[in-house]
Amino acid sequence: MSQASTEIVRISGHAGTVPGAGLNREYQVCKLVDTTTCIGCKACEVACLEWNGYTFSETKFDNSYQTMPETAWNYWNLIKFNEHERDDGTMMLLMRKDQCMHCEDPGCLAACPADAAIVQYANGIVDFQEAHCIGCGYCITGCPFNIPKFSPTARKVFKCTLCNDRVSVGLEPACIKACPTGCLHFGTKSEMKELAETRADQLRSQSGFPDAGVYDPVGVSGTHVIYVLHDAKNPELYGGLPRDPHIPLSVRLWKGPLKWLGNLAMLGGLVGLALHYMRIGPKKEEPIPPEDRKPS
Amino acid sequence: MTNGWIDIKNTDMMLIMGGNPAENHPCGFKWAMEAKRNRNAKLISVDPRFTRTSSTADLFLQIRAGTDIAFLGGLIRYAIENNRIAKEYLVNYTNASFIVKEGFKLPEDGLYSGFDSATSKYDLSTWNYEGVGGSGEQGGAAGATGHAPEPVPGKVGGAAPPPHLPPNVAYDLTLEHPRCVFQLMKQQYSRYTPETVERITGIPKDQYLKAVDMFTSVRKDGDMKKVATIIYAVGWTQHTFGTQIIRTAAMIQLLLGNVGRAGGGVNALRGHSNIQGATDMAGLFDSMPGYLKAPIPADTDLATFLKRTTPTSSKPSPWGSWNYYANTPAFFVSLMKAMYGDAATKENQFAFDYLPKVDRDYSWTHIWDDMYNGKVKGMMAFGMNGVMIGPDTNKNINALKKADWLVVGEIYQDETSEFWRAPGITTDEQKTINTTVYRLPCAGFAEKDGSMTNSARWVTWKYAAVPPPGQARLDQDIIADIFLRVRDLYKKDGGKFPDPILNLNWAYADSAHPSLSQVAMELNGKALADLTDPVTKQVIKAGQQLPGFAWLKDDGTTMCGNWIYSGCWTEAGAQIQRRGTEDPSGMGVFPNWSWSWPANRRVLYNRASCNPEGKPWDPTRKQVWWNEAAGKWAGNDVPDFKPDSHPKDHMGPFIMNPEGVGRLFAPIGVLADGPFPEHYEPIESPTKNLLHPQQSNNPLVKKFKTPYDKFGDPEEYSIVCTTYRLTEQYHYWTKNNPMNVQLIPEPFVEIPVELANEKGIRGTDMIHVISARGTYTAKAFVTRRLKPMMIDGKKVYQIGLPIHQGYRGIIEDEGKDARTPANLLTPAVSDPNAHTPESKGFLVKIEKA
Amino acid sequence: MSTTDTTPRARTTSAFDEELIPRYTMVERVNHWFGAITYTYCLITGLAFWTPYLYWMAAIVGGGPTARFWHPWFGIFFTVSQFLMFLHWSGDMEVDNDDRVWADNIQAYIENEDDKLPPVGRFNWGQKLYFWGMVGSTILLLLSGFMLWYVEAVPWSIHILRYVAILVHASVALITIGLFLIHVYMSTILEEGSFGSMIHGSVTRAWAWTFHRKWYYKVTGRARPTE
In B162-293 the beta strands, taken as DSSP E runs, fall at: 228-232, 266-268, 287-288, 292-293
Which CB contacts under 8 angstroms, 24+ apart, belong to B757-766? B759/B846, B759/B847, B759/B848, B760/B848, B761/B846, B761/B848, B763/A62, B763/A63, B764/A61, B764/A62, B764/A63, B765/B848, B765/B849, B766/B818, B766/B848, B766/B849
The count of domains in chain A is 2
* CB–CB contact C222 A296 (8 Å): yes
> Of B606, B613, B572, B576, nearest to B594 (Cα)?
B576
Whether residues A183 and A259 share a domain: the answer is no
pLDDT at B140: 34
Residues B115 and B219 in one domain: no
Touching C: A residues 252-291, CB under 8 Å: 253-254, 258-259, 262-263, 265-266, 269-270, 273, 276-277, 280-289, 291
User: What pLDDT does residue B161 have?
Assistant: 63
Q: How many of the other CB atoms lie within 10 Å of CB of B573?
A: 10
Instruction: Closest CB to C190: pick one of A70, A277, A285.
Output: A277
Q: Tell me how far CA of residue B52 lies from CA of A36, A91, B60, B673, in angstroms.
A: 11, 11, 11, 34
Asked whether the predicted pLDDT for residue B400 surpasses 80, the reply is: yes
What does the alpha-carbon distance between residue B2 and residue B554 come to, in Å, rounded to a whole number? Answer: 28
Q: Please state the rounded mean pLDDT for residues B228-252.
A: 97
Residue B272 pLDDT class (50, 70, 90 cuts)? confident
| A214 part of a folded domain | yes
Which of B170, B193, B219 terminates a domain? The answer is: B170
Using one digit for the tens of pLDDT, what is the confidence trace for B539-595? 999 999 999 999 999 999 999 999 999 999 999 999 999 999 999 999 999 999 999
Answer yes or no: do A173 and A35 share one domain: yes
pLDDT on residue C10: 54
Is the N-terminal amide bond of B598 cis, ω within 30° of 0? yes
Q: Is residue A230 located within the same domain as residue A262?
A: no
pLDDT digits (tens, 9 = 90+) for B798-817: 999 999 999 999 999 998 88
Reported as a single tens digit per residue, the pLDDT across C78-115 is 999 999 999 999 999 999 888 999 999 999 999 988 88
What pLDDT score was predicted for residue B110?
Answer: 95
Is there a single domain that holds both residue B711 and residue B793? yes
Domains of chain C: 22-220 (1.20.950.20)
Q: What does the pLDDT read at residue B160? A: 55
Average pLDDT over residues B210-235: 96
| In a domain? residue A89 | yes
Nearest CA of chain A to the CA of B33: how many Å?
6
Question: Up-side HSE of residue C188: CA atoms within 13 Å toward CB?
Answer: 9
Q: What single letter denotes the amino acid at residue B816?
A: K
Q: Is the CB of A91 less than 8 angstroms away from the CB of B784?
A: yes
Chain B residues whose CB is inside 8 A of the A83 CB are 783-785
Chains A–B, number of C-beta pairs less than 8 Å apart: 108
- Give the pLDDT of residue C5: 45
* Residues B231 and B164 occupy one common structural domain: no
Q: What is the pLDDT of residues B602-629, one digit of tens each?
A: 999 999 999 999 999 999 999 999 999 9
Mean pLDDT score of chain B, rounded to an integer? 94
Let me know if residue B255 belongs to a domain: yes
Give the number of other Cβ atoms within 10 Å of residue C11's Cβ: 10
Do at least 3 CB pairs under 8 Å connect A with C?
Answer: yes
CA distance A110 to chain C (A): 12
Mean pLDDT of all residues in B335-339:
98
For residue B753, tell me if it sits in a domain. yes
How far is C-alpha B663 from the chain's CA centre? 17
If contacts are CB pairs under 8 Å, which of residues 70-109 in chain C contact chain A? none
Q: Distance between the two ends of chain B, CA-based, in angstroms?
A: 43
Q: Which residues in chain A touch residue B56, judged by CB atoms under 8 angstroms apart?
A: 36-37, 39
Q: Best of A143, A286, A296 to disrupt the C interface by mutation (most C CBs within 10 Å)?
A: A286
Residues B836 and B737 in one domain: yes
Within a domain: residue A84? yes
Task: Quick: pLDDT tens for B101-112.
Answer: 999 999 999 999
CB atoms within 10 A of CB C19: 13
Quote the pLDDT of residue A6: 58
Residues A202 and A270 in one domain: no
The CATH number given to whatever domain includes residue B236 is 3.40.228.10
For chain B, positions 731-760, list CB contacts with chain A under 8 A: 738-739, 741-746, 748
Residue B62 lies in a domain: yes
Q: Are residues A222 and A267 in the same domain?
A: no
pLDDT digits (tens, 9 = 90+) for B146-177: 444 444 444 444 445 678 899 999 999 999 99
Q: Does residue B673 register a pLDDT over 70?
A: yes
User: Which residues of chain A are within 8 Å of residue C192 when distances are taken between CB atoms?
Assistant: 282-285
Nearest to C115 by CA among A56, B383, A286, A277: A286
C-beta atoms of B58 and A207 within 8 A:
yes
Given an 8 Å threshold on Cβ–Cβ distance, is C222 in contact with A146? no
| Ranges of chain A whose pLDDT falls below 70 | 1-8, 20-25, 295-296
Instruction: Identify the CA nearest to B93 among candidates B248, B244, B261, B232.
Output: B261
**What residue numbers bound the domain in which A252 lies?**
248-282
Give the pLDDT score at B6: 96
* CA atoms of B728 and A65, how far apart (whole Å): 9
Please tell me whether residues A137 and A231 are part of one structural domain: yes
A51 with A102, same domain: the answer is: yes
Which CA distances in Å does B489 have to B220, B377, B507, C115?
Answer: 69, 20, 19, 123
- Can you name the residues that pair with B633 across neighbouring β-strands? B626
Contact at CB, C110 and A273, closer than 8 angstroms: no
Report yes or no on B256 lying in a domain: yes
Residues B206, B244 within the same domain? yes
**CATH code of the domain containing A154:** 3.30.70.20
Q: Residue B545, SS3?
A: strand
Does residue A35 lie in a domain region?
yes
| DSSP strands (E only) in A122-208 | 126-128, 149-151, 156-158, 184-188
- B170, B199, B227 - which closes a domain: B170
Q: Which helix (H) or strand (E) holds B44?
A: strand B42-47
Based on the fold, state whether residues B89 and B215 are members of the same structural domain. Answer: yes
d(CA B36, CA A230): 14
In a domain, A3, yes or no: no
pLDDT digits (tens, 9 = 90+) for B283-329: 889 999 999 999 999 999 999 999 999 999 999 999 999 999 999 99
> Do A216 and A90 fall within a single domain?
yes
* The predicted structure's pLDDT at residue A12: 80
Instruction: Assign residue B265 a region (left: φ > 0; alpha: ψ between -120 and 50; beta: otherwise).
Output: left
Q: Which region holds residue A160: left if phi is over 0, alpha if psi is between -120 and 50, else beta?
A: beta
| CB distance B537 to B575 below 8 Å | no
Cβ pair B838, B829 in contact under 8 A? yes
Chain C residue with Cα closest to A145 = C156
> Which residues of chain A have a CB within 8 Å of the CB of B726?
65
- Comparing CB atoms, the residue among A50, A91, A182 nearest residue B34 is A182
Q: Residue B90 domain-assigned?
A: yes
Residue B61 sits in the same domain as residue B109 = no
CATH number of residue B742's parent domain: 2.40.40.20
Q: Residue B724: what residue type?
A: Y
Asked which of B130-144, B567-581, B762-776 is least confident by mean pLDDT, the reply is: B130-144
Nearest Cα neighbor of B438 from B406, B415, B394, B402 is B406
Q: Is residue B302 part of a domain?
A: no
Average pLDDT over residues B362-391: 94
Instruction: Tell me whether residues C11 and A288 touch, CB distance under 8 A.
Output: no
Write down the H helix ranges in B527-576. Answer: none
B148 and B227 inside one domain:
no
Same domain, B790 and B823: yes
**Boundary-marking domain end, from B170, B202, B221:** B170
Nearest to B128 by CA among B142, B146, B110: B146
Chains with 3+ CB–CB pairs under 8 A to A are: B, C
Substitution target in A36, A63, A74, A82 with the highest count of B β-carbons within 10 Å is A63
Tell me the helices (H) and strands (E) count for chain A, helix number first: 9, 10
Check whether residue A160 and residue A267 sit in a common domain. Answer: no
On the 0-12 / 13-18 / 19+ scale of CB atoms within 10 A, B581 is exposed
Residue closest to B520 by CA, chosen among B462, B467, B468, B479:
B462
State whether the Cα torsion C1-C5-C11-C12 is positive or negative.
negative
Instruction: Give the DSSP H or E segment for B767.
Output: strand B766-770
Residues of C in contact with A295 (CB under 8 A): 220-223
Q: What is the pLDDT of residue C4?
A: 43
Give me the interface pTM, i.e. the ipTM: 0.91
- Termini Cα distance of chain A: 88
Nearest 5°: the CA angle A70, A76, A80 is 40
Closest residue by Cα to residue B845 from B801, B787, B799: B799
Q: What is the pLDDT of residue C11?
A: 57
Range of the domain at B228: 6-94+181-277
Do A155 and A89 share a structural domain? yes
What is the distance between the alpha carbons of residues A69 and A41, in angstroms, rounded to a whole number? 17
A262 and A213 together in one domain: no
In a shared domain, residues A83 and A130: yes
* Confidence band for C193, pLDDT divided at 50, 70 and 90: confident
Q: Is residue A8 in some structural domain? A: no
Largest distance between two CA atoms of chain A: 102
Residue B616 in contact with residue B610, Cβ under 8 Å? yes
Which residues make beta-bridge pairs with B267?
B231
pLDDT at B511: 95
* Together in a domain, B157 and B10: no
Task: Provide the pLDDT for residue B447.
Answer: 96
Residue B655 lies in a domain: no
Shared domain for B773 and B839, answered yes or no, is yes
Question: Which pLDDT value is given to residue C12?
Answer: 62
Chain B, residues 120-179, CB within 8 A of chain A, namely none
Residue B766 shares a structural domain with residue B841 = yes
Other residues' Cβ atoms within 10 Å of the Cβ of residue B664: 24
Side-chain half-sphere exposure of A149, counting CA atoms within 13 A = 20
Length of chain B: 849
| pLDDT recorded at residue A7 | 62
CATH number of the domain enclosing A255: 1.20.5
pLDDT at residue number C115: 83
Which contiguous run of DSSP H or E holds residue B381? strand B378-382
* Closest by Cα among B326, B321, B348 to B337: B348
Chains B and C touch (3+ CB pairs under 8 A): no
pLDDT at B147: 45
Q: Which residue of A has its CA nearest to C58?
A: A114
The pLDDT > 90 percentage for chain B reads: 93
Cβ proximity of B361 and B355 under 8 Å: no
pLDDT tens, B11-47? 999 999 999 999 999 999 999 999 999 999 999 999 9
Cβ separation of C152 and A140 shorter than 8 Å?
yes
Q: What total number of domains does chain B contain?
A: 3
pLDDT digits (tens, 9 = 90+) for B69-93: 999 999 999 999 999 999 999 999 9
Please report the pLDDT score of residue B73 as a whole number.
98
